[in-house]
Amino acid sequence: MSQKVLLNATEINIALNRLACQLIEKHDDFSKTVLIGIQPRGVFLAERLKTLLESEYKIKDIKLGYLDITFFRDDFRRGQKPLEANKTKINFIVEDKNVVFIDDVLFTGRSIRSALTAVQSFGRPLEIELLTLIDRRFSRHLPIQPDYRGRQVDAINGEKVKVCWKENDGEDAVYLVKN
Amino acid sequence: MSELSVNHLLGIKYITEADIQLIFETADHFKEVINRPIKKVPSLRDITIANLFFENSTRTKLSFELAEKRLSADVINFASSSSSVTKGETLIDTVNNILSMKVDMVVMRHPNPGAGVFLSKHVNASIINAGDGAHEHPTQALLDTYSIREKLGDVSGKKVVIVGDILHSRVALSNIFALQKLGATVKVCGPKTLIPKYIEKLNVGVETNLRKALEWCDVANMLRVQNERMDISYFPTTREYTQQFGLSKAILDSLNKEIVVMHPGPINRGVEITSDVADSKQSIILEQVQNGVAVRMAVIYLLASKIKS
């Protein structure tokens, strides 16, 4: 197994700042916007962005929720490993809000499809956008694209993109892992 | 661990403590789901479940049906009173007929102990025992222990007394197994005629004085007096039973501590439990009903994940 660094800590930080600025351009003071991190690994990115928007760009009261999509996946019973659920925590109304889904890697698009169904349990958003740190653009199974992306990666199917976060994995880095 | 060790839920006796913990963790997630504005998830869209009730039931049947529908399964229902069973059809034939309609899972209540085990050996579907005679009622025990865990934080180390008709109760047996697997101490309390002789072999204490039992316990699980199962008199009169084993506000108030009161329902108000106790803050009877749907969703979901297409 070999791995190559795609993004180091500084590059991730630059990408996060750029993504934050892009979000501000579109959503201004976030009064009509809510951020939703897709469980499990989109949550780290979502929390980073929220902290950055609040500390660097002085935007207050950003609403952030976590969405678990386990029960909405279409590959239940098809995988070798049983699916394990995570916590959903959405303490606000999504009805008529601009929702930004946040996930670390966009691969086949199936997670986002599940998230689109899952979020309907909480109301009817006005608009839904997608932000991902990594976009594996040639791996899509469904017609889903990100509105905001940190880095586009052309990886073949045998390769894996691994996103590490300081709070969970001890470092900020993105690796391309080959088996 | 994220997978059950069994393909059927036939009784608590057949599952491990780790299985029970996995069911509880999954039920936690489903509890969150059933408190959402839209309480349905599409997980079991391609699964068909048959609810076979060879014996009357209201809440278990409704609870299972609701759990199945909230997971988006296709559900067919069957009640023996209005079926060909009354014409003499055997259990295997009835079930095989239903299974040829491509059913993936069977939830069955049957008056004969062991009916679920028998069926699991003869048909190719996941079986959930929803009560087999006076034997086991595993999902009830799971929801009871889940409710205790929710109320007291943990089941391990707690003292639980099961009061009433132990002899005819499948709830009692399943509860004993579940509570012991999770590390609780169990006693039973009731008229001697309603306590089975084998009970002490299960490591369960026996108490015939309700007050003493209540002073000892953290949780009192009151059982229904099953008049329909009693072909001979086990106690002189209902009035006498109530005086000796009925839980009233007066007894509860006279204790030096607050105990949790449970009842699997349906309640005979004024017999095993008075109305003011049933409706009091100490009672978690309605929480048991709500948790029943979440726990059953968890069991169905986890068993369904083992059915491969």
% of chain B surpassing 90 pLDDT: 66
- Chain A nearest CA to B30, separation (Å): 9
Nearest to B131 by CA among B171, B172, B72: B171
Say what the pLDDT of residue B73 is.
96
- Quick one: CA dihedral B157, B161, B166, B170, positive or negative? negative
Q: What is the pLDDT of residue B88?
A: 67
What pLDDT, on a 0 to 100 scale, did the predictor assign at position A21?
Answer: 95
- Other Cβ atoms closer than 10 A to B81: 10
Measured distance CA(B8)–CA(B170) in Å, rounded: 18
Q: Is the pLDDT of residue B138 over 90?
A: yes
Q: How confident is the model at residue B304 (pLDDT cuts 50, 70, 90)?
A: very high
Instruction: Look at residues B155, B253, B266 and name the one whose alpha carbon lies nearest to residue B211.
Output: B253
Q: What percent of chain A has pLDDT over 90?
A: 68
The interface predicted TM-score (ipTM) is 0.80
DSSP for B160-206 reads EEEES--TT-HHHHHHHHHHHHTT-EEEEES-GGGS-GGGGGGT-EE
Tell me if A77 and B26 make a contact (CB, 8 A cut-off).
no
B135: its two tokens: 């034997």
Instruction: Write the pLDDT tens digit of every residue in B103-127.
Output: 999 999 998 899 999 989 988 899 9
Residues in the annotated binding site of B for L-aspartate: 87, 170, 224
Nearest CA in chain A to B70: A71
How many other CB atoms sit within 10 Å of the CB of residue B266?
A: 9
Of B287, B304, B222, nearest in space to B261 by CA: B222
Separation in Å, CA of A65 to nearest CA in chain B: 14
Please, are residues A73 and A102 in contact by the beta-carbon 8 Å criterion? no
Q: Is the pLDDT of residue B230 over 70?
A: no
List the single residue in B with minimal CA-CA distance to A77. B305
Residue B204 has what pLDDT?
Answer: 94
Q: Does A80 touch chain B (CB under 8 A)?
A: no
- Min Cα–Cα distance to chain B from A92, Å: 12
Q: pLDDT band at residue B87, thresholds of 50, 70 and 90?
A: low
Binding-site residues of B for carbamoyl phosphate sit at: 59-60, 109, 137, 140, 265-266
Which range of A82-86, B86-90, B228-232, B265-269 scores highest in mean pLDDT? It is B265-269
Closest residue of chain B to A84, computed from CA coordinates: B2
Please name which of B213, B175, B173, B178 lies closest in space to residue B195, comparing C-alpha atoms. B173
Least confident of A2-6, A73-77, A107-111, B143-147: A73-77
Residues A72 and A68: their CA atoms lie apart, in Å, by 9
pTM for this structure? Answer: 0.89
**Which chain B residues are closer than 8 Å to A82 by Cβ?**
2-3, 302, 305-306
Instruction: Give B94's pLDDT tier (boundaries 50, 70, 90).
Output: confident
- Calculate mean pLDDT across residues B260-288: 91
Question: pLDDT digits over A121-179, tens only?
Answer: 898 999 999 999 999 988 899 999 999 999 999 888 788 899 999 988 889 999 999 87
Cβ <8 Å between A71 and B33: yes
pLDDT confidence bin for B283, thresholds 50/70/90: very high
Residue with tokens 């309609």: B101
Task: Please answer yes or no on whether A71 and B41 come within 8 Å at the CB atom.
Answer: yes
CB contact under 8 A, A70 and B29: yes
Neighbour-count burial for B53-79, b at 16+ CB within 10 Å, e otherwise:
bbbebeebbebbbbbbbbbbbbbeebb
pLDDT of residue B12: 96
Runs of H (alpha helix) within A6-122: 9-27, 42-55, 110-119
**Cβ within 8 Å of residue B291, ≥6 positions away:** B27, B31, B143, B146, B147, B150
The DSSP annotation for B29-45 comes to HHHHHTTSSS----TTT
Amino acid found at A140:
R
B29·A87 Cβ contact <8 A: yes
Contact A161, A155 (CB under 8 A): yes
B130 pLDDT above the threshold of 80: yes
pLDDT tier for residue B302 given thresholds of 50, 70 and 90: very high
| Overall average pLDDT of the A31-48 stretch | 94
Q: Is A79 on the interface with B (CB under 8 A)?
A: no
Pairing of strands B48-53, B74-79: parallel
At residue B309 the predicted structure's pLDDT band, cuts being 50, 70 and 90, is low
Nearest chain B residue to A89, by CA: B32
Q: Is the pLDDT of residue A31 over 80?
A: yes
Interchain CB distance below 8 Å, B302 and A81: no
Provide DSSP, A98-121: EEEEEEEEESSSHHHHHHHHHHGG
How many residues are present in chain A? 179
Looking at the complex, report in whole angstroms how far the Cα of residue A93 sits from the nearest Cα belonging to chain B.
10
Q: What is the pLDDT of residues B147-195, one digit of tens each?
A: 999 999 999 999 999 999 898 888 999 999 999 999 999 999 999 988 9
Segment A88-116 mean pLDDT = 93
The rounded mean pLDDT for chain B is 90
